[in-house]
Structure 1
Amino acid sequence: MKRTITESTTLWLIGFVLLVFVEAVLFGNGNVIFFFLGAIAIYFGLQRRSKWLVVTGGIFIVIALLSLWSLRLLIFAILLYLVVRLWKGTPAEEIMRPLKEVKAETPNGIWKDRLFSRQSTPFTSYEWQDIHVQGIVGDFYIDVTDTVLPKNTSLISIRQGFGRVKIELPYDLPVRIHCSVLFGECRLFDLTPKRLLNESIHMKDGYDRPIGDEAELIISLSIRFGDVEVIRK
């Protein structure tokens, strides 16, 4: 999958938080406490949908950033990275939106809960088994067009901290989707991609006719930081 804006932003944020932690531990910068208080306030503000907490957290973080050497170091590192890449002749478009295609095939029916992983369905026809998997960091690619779903209801359930999920479905398959994202982008079928901030999307598609005993699919996704894409092909 291509590295997305969400993924790049998340990686930079993690790196910055680590820098802040190092500054607090090694250099004893007391203003770091404002950063962590702000982050906590924003987190609970998003969870409880409280604009007051989010604004308060933002103020604390701004106060902290104005006095952090970590921020100055981060800006210096970004500028140095851009200069080096441009000096080597790398096009600006490639620097801003790097492309990286990585797919790790998962043996048929074996989906493992792993802290760090990239997993996908086999690249050839395979026998379907319900998917229920969770992890911290990783990408998931599921192609339902290369299998035959059993009658009645099948399930895809993914719980992930950081990463992307892409699911490809056949055109005639009825599907119900429950997607929850803390920060990321969600693209469902031909709808315009939507940026989510601690939001959930529920929708169903392909139920224009009574399904009876035909196959249907339920997709349940819970992603903290990452992008979700569900398309038909």
Structure 2
Amino acid sequence: MFKRLSTDTVNWILIVGVILFTIEIVFFGGGMIISALFFGLFIYVGWKRFYKLWGKIFFWFGSIGLTFAIFNMMAIRFFVVAAIVLFIINYSKSKKEADYIQPSNQFQDDSNQETIIKTTPLFSHRIFGNQQTTNQAYQWKDINIHGAFGDRVIDLSNTVLPDETAVISIRHLVGNIEIFVPYEVEVSVHHSAVFGRAHILGTDHNKLMNQTLFYRTANYQSTLPRVKIITTLLSGDIEVKRI
């Protein structure tokens, strides 16, 4: 169904959804959004202590509460209604317009087609749970992930960085990020956080409130190997240290 949607249609749906979110925050005091964040905190605390009985209770209580809070938001209701309407419209069109496949006898010239290689990323997008690099040697691949709850640990001492700028990009809601960098690697760190703390190569920020930090080592611009770290957190700590 979604393959049939034009970019303009998707953009208008997203714009209306953002407007409804804004109306709910401005005119209704954030109602269900605050409740969703509250239940999300329950989920995070329960997940961190899931091996205990009270942790399981916190997790499932938060999950049920978050589900009800989300589906009581005006914007989410709009998305559900929009999805149903689009499904009906596209289903109706598909019944009227049959897809015809006509074989072609023309020879397709692939001589100028570029060869590309698909690789498996080091990390996958995960909403819940912790992720970390393996303790054994591994082949480096740039990291570009987002998540919701859990910790992310990246150890660069078990890999060989390329003779170019390696990139680590993490967008996360609640959790901690730890990155271990060898001494011979130059580092650039661009970190944004709403709440949390930062410990970057010996420099400490014990209270971040909607701040952005930018640090880099002295020889970052001229020396290889080097790693560029870009992180965004809603609530959590980041630690970048030598190993």
Normalising by the residue count of structure 1, what TM-score does the alignment of the two structures yield?
0.52
Does structure 1 residue 148 correspond to structure 2 residue 160? yes
The CA deviation at 1:152 is 1.1
What residue ranges of structure 2 are gaps of 5+ in the alignment?
1-27, 35-119
Task: State the match for 2:72 in structure 1.
Answer: none
Distance 1:144 1:206 in 2: 20
Question: By how many angstroms is 1:124 displaced?
Answer: 1.1
CA deviation after TM superposition for structure 1 residue 180, in Å: 0.2
Q: CA deviation at 1:164?
A: 0.4
CA distance in 2, matches of 1:171, 1:164: 22
Select which of 222, 226, 236 maps to 1:226.
236
Deviation at 1:194? 3.0
Take 2:220 and 2:127, find their aligned partners in 1: how far apart are those partners?
A: 40
Whole-angstrom distance in 2 between the partners of 1:168 and 1:146: 10
1:196–1:128 Cα change, 3 Å:
same
Alignment correspondent of 1:67: none
- Write the letter of the residue equivalent to 2:235: F
The match for 2:227 is 217
SS at match of 1:226: strand
1:180 equivalent in alignment to 2:177: no
Is 1:204 the counterpart of 2:216? The answer is: yes
Where does residue 132 of structure 1 map in the other structure? 144
TM-score, normalised to structure 2's length? 0.50
CA contact (8 A) 2:220 2:226 kept: no
Q: 2:132 aligns with which of 120, 125, 134?
A: 120
* Paired position in structure 1 for 2:177: 165
- Is the partner of 2:150 in helix, strand or coil? strand
Residue 157 of structure 1 deviates from its aligned partner by 0.3
Question: SS in structure 1 opposite 2:157?
Answer: helix
Number of paired residues? 130
The answer to whether the 8 A contact 2:122-2:133 is kept is no
Larger radius of gyration: 2
Distance 2:238 2:221 in 1: 27
Kindly state the Cα deviation for residue 206 of structure 1 after the two structures are TM-superposed.
4.6
Partner SS for 1:111? coil
Deviations 1:32-76 (A, max 9, x none): xxxx73x78xx9xxxxxxxxxxxxxxxxxxxxxxxxxxxxxxxxx
Q: Amino acid of the residue matched to residue 157 of structure 2?
A: T
